[in-house]
Structure 1
Amino acid sequence: MARLDWYIRANLRPRHFQLLVALDELRHVGRVADYLNITQPAVSKSLSELERGLEVRLFERDPKGLIPTAFGECLIRFSRSVLRELNTTRDELRHLKAGTTGSIRIGMLPVAAPALVPRSVILLKEEAPATTVVLVEGNSDSLLPMLQEGKLDIIVGTLPSAPRHTGLELQPLHPGEAIVAVCGTRNPLAGREKITVQDLAGYPLIIPPPDAIFREHVDAIMDYFDMPLPAGAIESGSMTASNTFIRDANAISFYSQHLAQHYSRVSGISILPLKMPPAIVTAPIGVVWPKHVEMPASTRLLIEKLAEVIDSVFDTGVEGQGL
């Protein structure tokens, strides 16, 4: 144990962490060599030196590639954490040299992109105008890996379910909101005072992809109404594309209430007066960040601003659900 402690403290270097992460992601010595711009023998030598020094096997050699052992997975997690902290320190030093006060890289899920994050950033910039803000919009499958790799500081939006938040801290800011049916303003259903689920039959349907957090709520609504998934349904993880289909192809979809209200003001979307099951609401809205990571002051300030504006963005009422 004393030798292991000595080896970790005295011999592990950033190049080792980069090597381990690359081996985990690429699983092939040749591809790792190309990625790190070193020779294949150098990759094999460095890995062998690590395994001898730690006195454990980090990867199993398999015909399909390299497979991390339990020891390897442990060290890979540590390597990612160290590299993330190094990236954060590098960015802070750059901003200090440039005379700015900090930076924050924000991943935005679709529910947070139109209003919640922009309004919060406006307040943040009023208090800390020199803070650099980077915004990245995507779904959970694209943003969570970026968060875990240190490419994002936080994600704002619908909180992931238990299987997805391993290694993450979650801070709920809102309990969730109602879901409404929407169509385009030129759709024959738009403007009607009352509709039933049978009125939706025959119109194209836009639904989230299976890996989207919002998809489980749409599935619950369709089960409640006993709506079969129509042949040719379009699965869209893009709000921009979904809005276009709804406007231009007379499609129907289900949106969280505040998104529907937002796009009804700016994008030719109409909320349908379909009475929805009141028990089905979106998952809580909040912030996600990696565990055991020191949160910069700029990130803490943003979370304060998110908490300030969220109630004005998300309406907990059921307007638009029908009577």
Structure 2
Amino acid sequence: MHIAATYLKKRHIQLLLTLDKTRHLGQAALALHMSQPAASKALAQMESSLGYTLFQRSGTGMQPTELGEIVINYAKNQAGAAQRLALELDAIALQDQRLLNVGILPSATVHIAPQLISALVAAQPKLNIALHEGLLTSLIEQLENNELDCVIGRTSAHVDSSHLEALFLYEDPACVVCGSQQSLAPHASQFELGDLLHHWWVLPPKDSVLQEHIQMMFSRLELPLPQHHIQSNATLATVALLNQHPWVGVMPRMLAEHFVQQQALTIFPIDTHVNFGTIQVLTRKEKVKTPPLELALGLMRQLFSAY
């Protein structure tokens, strides 16, 4: 490779391009905030290192030689490549500043996610938002690997919080529900929990954290678990079953209220004395968070502070 391909530095490229534009050493020096002797010395050093005369001097100015034209074209290509690289890097950085990857646990899908997304779109229409629903373990792993910016939902005490931080949103109380199309719904206000024990129930899976809370609910009211029940963690299937049969279910109140608005469920006015857990936002412990994440956290503080 000829030395011309490796020797030209940024200051050489700037001098060559400015000389090509002005064809006058004094004007080029002025444009580059250099003294004319310094510009003349830099050009002489460049010509000496390359082994060619690049400009013919005259009393009226300077004209590039044939070889000078070749070197100027090379300098233009180098300057253009540097500019394109800077633009591409800026575009990538800007894209990162406009991207928000949100991990959503099932407990946050119908209540938090729609409100958050609506608020984000209103506040920052150009923001690219990606929602990823999954289980806690998988989402936490993605968060730790920088694949997600945050994880929202009901979290477990078993989460390693040494490198994560949590923003508390609200406690999620348990409520007792039935299908709005079933015979129990019109008389929901007349029932106590004990009156419903002879019905079939849809309960959270055995050995789950939610099941522990359900057992606590019945224990506090000194009642046994319903004898007839099935186990389900499939929300839509649970809602469908409750509307097909005069059955009873237990679910987080925020989730139940969504289906009440859809006229799919009715909530019994029974105080369960039990919370299903804490709804919060998990993020990595970082000194500086991206602007989209800061925006999302601020909006969630506003949206859910009253719960």
Please, what TM-score do these two structures have when normalized by structure 2? Answer: 0.61
2:182 to 168, 187, 193: 187
Match of 1:127 in 2: 123
Q: How many residues align?
A: 218
Match of 1:85 in 2: none
Residue 18 of structure 1: aligned partner = none
**Cα offset for 1:183?**
0.6
Tell me if structure 2 keeps the 8 A contact 1:100–1:132.
Answer: no
1:233 matches 2:230: yes
Instruction: Describe how 1:109-258 pairs up with structure 2 within 5 A.
Output: 109-162=105-158, 164-174=160-170, 176-192=171-187, 193-210=189-206, 213-225=209-221, 226-228=223-225, 230=227, 233-236=230-233, 238-258=234-254
Distance 2:239 2:110 in 1: 13
Please report the RMSD computed on the Cα atoms of aligned residues, expressed in angstroms.
3.0
Point out the more displaced range, 143-152 or 263-272: 143-152
Write the deviation string for residues 8-66 of structure 1: whole angstroms up to 9, x where unpaired.
Answer: xxxxxxxxxxxxxxxxxxxxxxxxxxxxxxxxxxxxxxxxxxxxxxxxxxxxxxxxxxx
> 1:308 pairs with 272, 296, 302, which one?
302
**AA in 2 matched with 1:182:** V
Query: In the alignment, which residue of structure 2 is the partner of 1:299?
Result: 293
Segments of 5+ residues of structure 2 without an aligned counterpart are 1-87
Aligned to 2:277: 283
Q: Tell me how far apart the structure 1 counterparts of residues 200 and 138 of structure 2 sit (CA, whole Å).
A: 27
Structure 1 residue 180: Cα displacement: 1.4
Q: Is the 8 A contact 1:96 1:102 kept in 2?
A: no
Q: 1:105 to 1:249 in 2, by over 3 A?
A: farther
Distance (Å, rounded) in 2 between the aligned partners of 1:159 and 1:97: 32
Q: Indicate if the aligned counterparts of 1:147 and 1:155 stay in contact, CA closer than 8 A.
A: yes
Paired residues of 1:141 and 1:211 also in contact (CA < 8 A)? no
The 1-side partners of 2:251 and 2:292 are apart by 31
Task: Specify whether residues 170 and 99 from structure 1 end up closer, same or farther in structure 2 by C-alpha distance, changes over 3 A only.
Answer: closer
Note closer, same or farther for the CA distance 1:164–1:148 as it changes in structure 2 (3 Å cut): same
Whole-Å separation in 1 of the counterparts to 2:110 and 2:131 = 12
Asked if the contact 1:95–1:101 (Cα under 8 Å) also holds between the matched residues in 2, the reply is no
How far residue 213 of structure 1 moved from its aligned partner, in angstroms, is 4.7
What per-residue deviation string (whole Å, max 9, x for no partner) do you get for residues 207-253 of structure 1? 233575544322321322433264652231x3222222222233322
Deviations 1:53-92 (A, max 9, x none): xxxxxxxxxxxxxxxxxxxxxxxxxxxxxxxxxxxxxxx9
Tell me the TM-score normalized by structure 1.
Answer: 0.58
User: Which structure has the larger Rg over C-alpha atoms?
Assistant: 2
Percent of paired sites with the same residue: 20
Structure 1's 94 and 197: CA in aligned 2 closer, same or farther, altered over 3 A? Answer: farther
Quick check: 2:177–2:265 contact (8 Å CA) kept in 1? yes
Distance 1:107 1:249 in 2: 34
The verdict on how the C-alpha distance between 1:249 and 1:147 changes in structure 2, with shifts beyond 3 A counting, is farther
Structure 1 unpaired stretches of 5+: 1-91, 315-323
Once the two structures are TM-superposed, the CA of residue 269 in structure 1 deviates from its matched residue by: 0.4
Range with bigger deviation, 152-161 or 263-272: 152-161
Summarize the alignment of residues 5-24 of structure 1 with structure 2, pairs less than 5 Å apart: none
Distance 2:99 2:110 in 1: 21
Q: What displacement does 1:130 show?
A: 1.4
Distance 2:212 2:145 in 1: 27
CA deviation map 1:144-171 (0-9, x unaligned):
3332333322111224215554532111
Secondary structure, in 3 states, of the residue corresponding to 1:111?
Answer: helix
Q: What secondary structure, in the 3-state scheme, does the structure 2 residue paired with 1:191 have?
A: helix
**Contact residue 116 and residue 299 of structure 2 kept, 8 A:** yes
Is the partner of 2:151 in helix, strand or coil? strand
> Matches of 1:169 and 1:110 in 2, distance apart?
20
C-alpha spacing 1:222/1:152, structure 2 compared with 1 (3 Å):
farther
